[in-house]
Amino acid sequence: MNAERYSLVAVAGALLLAATAALTPLALPGVAPGWTLLDATLWTTTVLFGGTALVWVVLTYVVGAGYEPPEVEYGPEEVHVRVLTIDAEDVVQATVDSLPDRFDDIHVVAEAPIDVAGATVHVVPDGFDCEAVRKGRAIEWARRNVDHDREFVAYLDEDSVVESFEGLPDADVVQLREKPRRSGGILPYMADIYRMGVQIEQRAFARLDIPLFAWGGGIAVRADLEDQVTWNRETIVEDTAFVWAAFREADPTFALGQATCRNEAPPSLYEIMQQRRRWAAGNLQAASMLPARYEALTRVRNYAWALSPVVTLVAVPLAVLGVSVAYGGLFLLVSLGLAGATAFWFVRGAVYYGGSSLTWALAVPLAPLVTVVHSMGTIAGVLAPPEGFRVTEKVGPEK
């Protein structure tokens, strides 16, 4: 619990420091006379977030324009399935039950003995040692010890209920799509809808030299590539690190698949904060694996998402209310544009992944608050990276 407490203290301390210094006039070379730290911070944040928004637009609507998932060439009978869990028996059972009948090689890799109908359960031995940690350690153990003769290995999280699966295209890495389902509070669920809107850029990844991230809750890799790259590296984002290592060490092909998994959105604000914290910290740590241009892009993206609420919660209200901010007219125009982009991401996610009527009704009015929920864990991940892997709480199937 100490790590969580420290992260909250770090975030609160940073906000307090910013608040006390915000109105202090700056007297630095190259800084406009009369600017305060508030002015400089708002402009810097707005430009950073604006640049990230522009990259998203280019990736989504230029690089990814017209992308369609390749045709299916490998059916479920050529896929070896591994579901990862600690001991969430009921949750895993729902995932296994969701798989089409054509899957006949289903395995569960757990940290404790559980009973799952329709699957073979393997328990990772306590004495197994490798460089990988937590979830990555379990995957690496399975790679070494769970034999199969299939073309692909598909990894699912314990709550990855498969909504559709016809098969896989002919690519070395196939990213399945994800669709959040509500498991608790409305704000965490809406934050995941917001994230879905951002992740629509995934359709451009097949046209990049290196995908910008991976989602391990639904991913399939060719068995030969898995054995070549392995999961044996210390990281808390084993999915993204594996894909980055694959593109560094081999020359794989990547495709966004047609299959969709419905995963639980974190049930509470605390859970979503810890999940985002792990993602942000892990991605920043693993970014050193990337070529310089991709490393810089990854770091800037994380910093921009962490600061994004500044635009909707601070910059826009200040500009609209007429508070003196340097170059107020231009700042108002830019801030409103980025606030509109934030709302668009939210609505785009709801359209693409089928948000409920409640989501639609609350989308725009709550967009500023949703950006905070989405970003607060990223701030914590940047300022106070977690020391280990924390599994997000799962609610499980409805009784």
Residue ranges of domains in the chain = 2-65+297-383, 76-290
pLDDT bucket at 335, cuts 50 / 70 / 90: confident
Angstrom distance (rounded) from CA 77 to CA 75: 5
pLDDT, one tens digit per residue, over 139-175 is: 999 999 999 999 999 999 999 999 989 999 999 999 9
DSSP per-residue letters across 138-206: HHHHHHHH-----SEEEEEETT-EEEE---B-S-SEEEEEEEEE--S-HHHHHHHHHHHHHGGGGGGGG
Helix, strand, coil % (nearest 5) of the chain?
A: 55, 15, 35
Angstrom distance (rounded) from CA 288 to CA 276: 19
For the residues 335-357, what does the mean pLDDT come to?
77
Number of alpha carbons in the 13 Å side-chain half-sphere of residue 153: 26
For the residues 91-108, what does the mean pLDDT come to?
96
pLDDT bucket at 80, cuts 50 / 70 / 90: very high
42 neighbors 327 (Cβ within 8 angstroms) = no
Q: In this predicted structure, what is the pLDDT of residue 380?
A: 80
Q: In this predicted structure, what is the pLDDT of residue 304?
A: 82
Of 288, 285, 255, 293, nearest in space to 382 by CA: 285
Architecture in CATH of 76-290? Alpha-Beta Complex (3.90)
Strands annotated E in 223-369? 254-264
Rounded to 10°, the helix 186-198/269-286 angle is: 30
Number of alpha carbons in the 13 Å side-chain half-sphere of residue 300: 19
Q: In this predicted structure, what is the pLDDT of residue 273?
A: 85
Angstrom distance (rounded) from CA 277 to CA 295: 19
237 neighbors 283 (Cβ within 8 angstroms) = yes
Full-model pTM: 0.84
Q: Choose the weakest-confidence range: 30-39, 227-236, 285-294, 299-308.
A: 30-39
261 φ/ψ angles, rounded to the nearest 5 degrees = -115, 135
Length of the chain: 399
The sheet with strand 106-110 has its strands ordered as 120-123, 106-110, 79-84, 152-157, 218-222, 173-181, 254-264, 161-164
Q: Residues with Cβ < 8 Å from 127, sequence gap 6 or more?
A: none
241 neighbors 290 (Cβ within 8 angstroms) = no
Please determine, for residue 75, whether its predicted confidence score (pLDDT) is greater than 90.
yes
